[in-house]
Structure 1
Amino acid sequence: MVVKTIGTHSGTFHADDCLAVYMLRLLPEFKDSKIIRSRDPDILETCDIIVDVSGKYDGIKYFDHHQRYFNETFSENFRTKLSSSGHFGRQIISHRLDLDLDHPYVDVLYVKLYESFLEAIDANDNGIDAYPHDVKPLFKTQLEVSSLVANFNPWWNQPIDDNILFNKFLKASEFIGTIFLDQLDYYGKAWIVARELVFDAFKKRFEYDFRGRIVVFEQFLPWKSHLFQIESEFNTSGQILYVIYTDGKDWRVQAVPIALESFTSRKNLPESWRGLRDKVLSLECNVDDCIFVHSSGFIGGNKTKEGALQMAIKALDF
């Protein structure tokens, strides 16, 4: 059997080339491929595929993004220029989850993985900040994945040669690749499954409020991103104010945020309830079996589903 080769640049490595190589080796045709790290064009040209080096991009063999003319993005909905990782995402999702390439979940998961994981790697490698230059971050962090991968490179005062760099590259590639697979498995085996449950609850929302402002889940599940997407698809964005779900023992009523990553809610629970607990809270809101309402008003608890639902219904009138 002919062993295929993946070429990438030598020297200091980054998150995108480490991940690109790992992702390629997830595909059957590159499963046992040899890795060549070099900047010699003649050596690279012998490879079956070349990532993050060569000065060329054709989407077939050459996957460099450093050329002045290269301005490819993931789709028209994204502005971040691509790096060398992520180009075979659909095929990897299909293979990993045993889905046909044209299964609708494949594209949904591809977009989700890009916006939640891969875009940050593209942005980092292309020197794009996550926030405007005139905004000062509230704290410093070196815990984002591109920084963690960069830390696998030898320190300035450590021994360094091609063999040392190659072995550290393999460790960094395994590190970021494992994170990628964890993300893929979660979104493909848990997150996407929740979408149907969220959609079923969305369709039943008028059973609890004539304006459809309350959604009830019979179990805890990742609902936020699905709910925002479903609202958008049905032109109901902003209409759902509260969701109800169980934590396995008690029930929660949670205010829906104004945006997916926001801590600001569309309609907080009433101010007069906030910070109260148990019998004091039950007396204040006239609902039995109350447990608490958070001091910010974004969430509350009740011992029963009926109690949580009544809290939500009463909160609508404030």
Structure 2
Amino acid sequence: MATEVAAKRMKMDTVQIGTHNGHFHADEALAVYMLRMLPQYSSASLVRTRDSALLDTCHTVVDVGGTYDDTKRRYDHHQREFTNTFPEHKTKLSSAGLVYMHYGKAIIAQHTKLPIEHPDVELLFQKLYDDFIEAIDANDNGISKYNSSKLEEAGIQENFKSGGITLPALVGDLNHEDPLNPDITRATTDSPQAEEDYRFGQASSLMGNAFLRKLHGAATAWLPARSVVKTSFEQRQTQHESGQLLVLPRAGIPWKEHLYNIEQEAGISEEKKILYVIYPEKEEQGSKWRIQAVSKDMASFVNRKSLPEPWCGVRDSELDALLGSDVEDGAVFVHASGFIGGHKTEAGVRAMASKALAG
């Protein structure tokens, strides 16, 4: 159904995507890749130019032309009056954000084989913007993640530089010919534009593959985990009388973001929020179990309630002795920071959780 919706936007004649030539950036590299993920654009040719007459002949134009008009398939964001943002966000869109806003659901529906109206498509649409696209929009529009004046006031300084390893920085590197890398060489020795277009293709693949990995991971791991975490959350009162222990049925479930969202949706007060999560370490029978303290938020290293301080940094028989006779032997460790611990059995880790909750 998603392809049928998208198909109405264009004829199946030869389709050309237009963008600017010269120095290229992460946003248009990604925008072009995302368009080509749709069947209607999969064989589209690419025209890289600033010649307005040539751009006028293109079916779809991104990041150049001074026009944003979805009805005409023009997606530039450089014009003075442009202030558009993704719904309920403050970051101004780049060409990547514009293409994603208009075609993202169709791309997700195509990848997941879900109807475009399916609620899971909407969840993934929001997830991918928050986790990936918004940062590209911000980078291209020169928007910093933090207020630099506030950082300066607080006396916060960087310990090291990390800007050179971001995706936009790596795309920036591809603007320069690398004679040492045979995969990024002059495509045709007598055509500088062909060489530049070749390197843009490398940049588009770099950005697109990163996006595709994010989409695939969100669709195959993050999304299925939500229903598991929600079920476990709804059963929390049966797991411990406090209702503050979450028990996950298997290993490897990405639970954190879902837990915070589910708690917020349920309107859980601070004093009733989940404090510990327990889960098997591996999928195999007889696996050890882990207990993990829930941090205050996704970005925090501060726990809502750390494991008891006397346990921290203690292992094996010494930890068994600290836990006492009401916890079966088999303790493995508790991290020195108190954020995680382990026991050889589910019963043992449940008993550790009960002691921690009571403390």
Task: Return the TM-score normalized by structure 2.
Answer: 0.85
Instruction: Please give the residue correspondences for 1:212-227 in structure 2 after superposition, counting only pairs within 5 Å.
Output: 212-220=243-251, 221-227=253-259
Report the equivalent of 2:81: 69
Instruction: Please give the residue correspondences for 1:1-318 in structure 2 after superposition, counting only pairs within 5 Å.
Output: 2-60=13-71, 61-76=73-88, 78-85=89-96, 86-87=100-101, 88-134=103-149, 135=151, 136-141=157-162, 142-154=164-176, 161-220=192-251, 221-236=253-268, 238=270, 239-248=273-282, 249-286=287-324, 287-288=327-328, 289-318=330-359
Letter in structure 1 aligned against 2:266: F
Q: Distance in 2 between matches of 1:154 and 1:89?
A: 31
1:5 CA displacement: 0.6
Q: Deviations over 1:209-260 (max 9, x none)?
A: 2231000001121000111111111011641000000111210000001001
Q: Deviations over 1:122-157 (max 9, x none)?
A: 000000111221323332111111111111111599
1:264 CA displacement: 1.1
1:98 CA displacement: 0.5
Higher mean alpha-carbon deviation, 152-161 vs 62-71, is at 152-161
Q: Is the 8 A contact 1:228 1:237 kept in 2?
A: no
Q: Is the 8 A contact 1:14 1:150 kept in 2?
A: yes
- Consecutive unaligned residues of structure 2, counting only runs of 5 or more, are 1-11, 152-156, 180-184
1:59 CA displacement: 2.3
Q: Distance in 2 between matches of 1:138 and 1:194?
A: 35
Number of residues of Structure 1 aligned to a counterpart in Structure 2 = 317
Q: Distance in 1 between matches of 2:44 and 2:67?
A: 21
Letter in structure 2 aligned against 1:57: Y
Q: Distance in 2 between matches of 1:82 and 1:240?
A: 36
1:49 CA displacement: 0.6
Q: Distance in 2 between matches of 1:89 and 1:146?
A: 20
Letter in structure 2 aligned against 1:295: A
Q: Deviations over 1:292-316 (max 9, x none)?
A: 0000000000011111111111111
Q: Deviations over 1:6-51 (max 9, x none)?
A: 0001101100000000000111111100100011111101001100
Q: Distance in 1 between matches of 2:313 and 2:220?
A: 37
1:202 CA displacement: 0.5
SS state at 2:216 partner: helix
Q: Distance in 2 between matches of 1:44 and 1:6?
A: 9
1:273 CA displacement: 0.5
| Cα distance change of structure 1 residues 93 and 262 upon mapping to structure 2, 3 Å threshold | same
1:53 CA displacement: 0.5
Q: Distance in 1 between matches of 2:260 and 2:67?
A: 39
Task: Return the TM-score normalized by structure 1.
Answer: 0.96
Bigger helix share = 2
Q: Is the 8 A contact 1:9 1:52 kept in 2?
A: yes
Q: Distance in 2 between matches of 1:186 and 1:229?
A: 18
Q: Is the 8 A contact 1:6 1:33 kept in 2?
A: yes
| Cα distance change of structure 1 residues 237 and 79 upon mapping to structure 2, 3 Å threshold | farther
Letter in structure 2 aligned against 1:241: L
Q: Distance in 1 between matches of 2:134 and 2:108?
A: 17
